[in-house]
Structure 1
Amino acid sequence: MTQLLSTAPTATRGDEDAVQNNHAFDNGAKGREAIHAGQSLSSLFVGSAAEAVAAGKAIWWEGDKNHLVQVEEGVVRLLRIIGEGRRVIIALQFAGDLNGASLQNDFLFTAEAVTKCKIRRISHMSFHGEVARSNALARAYLSLLCQEAAASHEQMVLLPKKNAEERPCSFIVKLAFRRNPRPRQGPLRVSMNRQDIADHLGLTIETLAHTVTKLASRNIVIPEGRHDLRNVNLARLVRLSGDTDDFSEDFCQRVNLNTRDKPRD
C-alpha cells in the first residue's frame, strides 16, 4: 500500500512565549470589541496571544490545570496512555475547535500537535464570566457541550460496534464533510500518520492498511502521495461507513400489514 502519512516526533514540554504589556493591552481591546460584535465563542480568544507549537510538541499534559484552548491552525491529537503503555487517541481536532470547555479542574488527557499549530488560551474564569454576561454566548456554549457529548458517545459507544471496514470509511467521510456540507470528489488532505488514525479507530496499522488497499482496489478511495486521498466514489464510501442505511423513499414500496384489508384477486 502507498504510504499515506508520515510519523510525528515524540512530544516534549516547552516554555510559553512571553507577551509584552502593550501588545496584551491592544489584543485585549480588540478581544472585547470582537466579543460584543460577533457574540461567538471564538471571539473570546481574540484577546489572548497566539502561540506557535511545533509538530510533536505537547500543548498540555494529562493532569495539568485545566484552561480553554482554541486551535487556530493545524491539527491536534488528544490522547491517553492506558495499561501496558497502549495509546488511545480520544479525538483529533482542527482549526476552530475548542478544548477544555466541559472540564473544571485538571485535564484528563494529553494534547499534542500533529502538525505545526497555532493556538490561543484563556482561563476558565474569563471564559465563564463572558458567557454569563451574554445570552448568545450561553447558547453557543450549551451547543458546544452538546456537540462534545455527542462526539464522546460516538467514539465510546458507536465506533466499537463498527467493523474494520466501516471505521476507516466513517473517518474519511468525516474529513470530507468537515469543511463542506456538499463535498466534491477530489483530493482530501490527511495530516495524521497511519499510527494516529489506527489508534483513533481502535485498529492495528496492518488492518488499516489492508482496508485502504481494498478500498483502492474497488476504486472508492485512492491514496495519492504521502498525505492525500482522492474520493472517487463518495456516495459508496458513505454507505460503507455504517452511519446510514440503504432506506430510500425512491425505492420504498408501500405495503399493507393489515391482512383483513388485503385486496381480493
Structure 2
Amino acid sequence: MFIESAGNSLRTIPGSFAVQPTSLQALFSKLPAESLSAGQTLILEGDVATSVFHVVTGSLRIFRILGDGRRVITGFLHAGDILGMSFKSHYIYTAEAITPVTIRRLSRKSFENEIAVSPDLGPAVFHQMSDEMAAAQDQMVLLSTKNAEERLCSFLLKELQRTLNAGALQTAVQLPMTRLDIADYLGLTIETVSRTLTKLSSKGVIETAGRHSVKILKRGKLAQMAGDGDEYEDDWRPATPQPERIRH
C-alpha cells in the first residue's frame, strides 16, 4: 500500500546512501522524519504512486470506498510498517492517520534502485510480501467463515500478538482505532462490536479500560471463542520480535 501527500505540507525526501543498508529499517533510518496530524490523508486512491514510506510512530487506517459509499477498512498500520512497495503504478487504497504519525519517505525509484543493488534487501522484501499475502488470505478466511463473535475475538488476538511481538510484557492491548474502524475492518456494525466487547467483558475474558485499551484476561478462552481451539494457552511470554511489515 502507499502513502502520498494529499494537499498537505509533506516534503519529498531524496534517497541517497553512501553505504548499502542491510535491512529495510536501515534503508529509511537516515532520512528526515515528517509529522502528520490525526485524520490527515496520506493516500488518495487513484493517484500516481511515487513514494515508499516507513512508519516511525503512530497508527494509520487503510481503506477503500465502495460504489455505494460504504467504507471497507483493509488493515491498520503501526510503527515499523512499510507502505508503498507495489508493482502498481497508482495507489489503490486510501490511507489516513488515526493518531499523530511520524513517517520517513523515500522515492519509489530510489527504493527500487536500492533493492536492485543490495544482496540483503531483495530477499527481505520478498519475505515480507509473502507474509503480507498470507495475512490477506487469513483476513479472507475470517470474513468468509467466522461469525461476529469469532471475528472480534480473532482481531483481539491479532492485536495482542502485535503487542507481544513489540516486546510488551503485559496483556493490555492499545487500540488506537475507533469502534467504527474495527466494525468496518471486520465487516460488522458498530453496535455488534460494542455488544460483543460487553459480552466478552461480562464473561471475564477481557477487561476494557476506556475506549482504546483492552486487557486480555483469558487468552486461551479468547482463542476458543475465536474458533482457534487450543492454539493459545493462558501464558504471557512475549514472542520473538518480528521484522517490519510491507503494505503493497
1:209 Cα deviation after fit:
0.9
1:32 Cα deviation after fit:
4.1
Structure 1 contact 14–57 (Cα < 8 Å) conserved: no
Q: Deviations over 1:196-234 (max 9, x none)?
A: 000001000111111111100100011112321111111
Per the alignment, do residues 209 and 32 of structure 1 end up closer, same or farther by CA in structure 2, a change over 3 Å counting? farther
> Which residues in structure 2 correspond to 1:30-45 (within 5 Å)?
32-33=18-19, 35-36=20-21, 39-45=22-28
Q: Which amino acid in 2 is paired with 1:143?
A: H
Q: Which amino acid in 2 is paired with 1:14?
A: G
Pairing 1:141–2:125 present: yes
Q: Which amino acid in 2 is paired with 1:96?
A: G
Pairing 1:222–2:215 present: no
1:43 Cα deviation after fit:
1.6
Give the counterpart of 1:208 among 193, 201, 219.
193
Give the counterpart of 1:54 among 29, 33, 37.
37
Matching residue of 1:197: 182
Give the counterpart of 1:231 among 216, 222, 235.
216
Pairing 1:121–2:105 present: yes
Q: Identity of paired residues, percent?
A: 39
- Unaligned stretches of 5+ in structure 1? 1-11, 249-265
Per the alignment, do residues 118 and 111 of structure 1 end up closer, same or farther by CA in structure 2, a change over 3 Å counting? same
Greater C-alpha radius of gyration: 1
Q: Which amino acid in 2 is paired with 1:94?
A: H
If the length of structure 1 is used for normalisation, what is the TM-score?
Answer: 0.78
Structure 1 contact 185–232 (Cα < 8 Å) conserved: no
SS, match of residue 180 in structure 1? helix
1:150 Cα deviation after fit:
1.1
Give the counterpart of 1:111 among 95, 103, 111.
95
Q: Deviations over 1:69-115 (max 9, x none)?
A: 11111001111000221000011010010112133300100010000
Per the alignment, do residues 201 and 70 of structure 1 end up closer, same or farther by CA in structure 2, a change over 3 Å counting? same
Please identify which structure carries the higher helix content: 1
| Aligned positions, number | 226
Instruction: Point out 4+ residue stretches in structure 1 off by more than 4 angstroms.
Output: 181-185
If the length of structure 2 is used for normalisation, what is the TM-score?
Answer: 0.83
SS, match of residue 84 in structure 1? coil
1:51 Cα deviation after fit:
1.2
Per the alignment, do residues 151 and 124 of structure 1 end up closer, same or farther by CA in structure 2, a change over 3 Å counting? same
In 2: Cα distance, 1:13 partner to 1:92 partner: 19
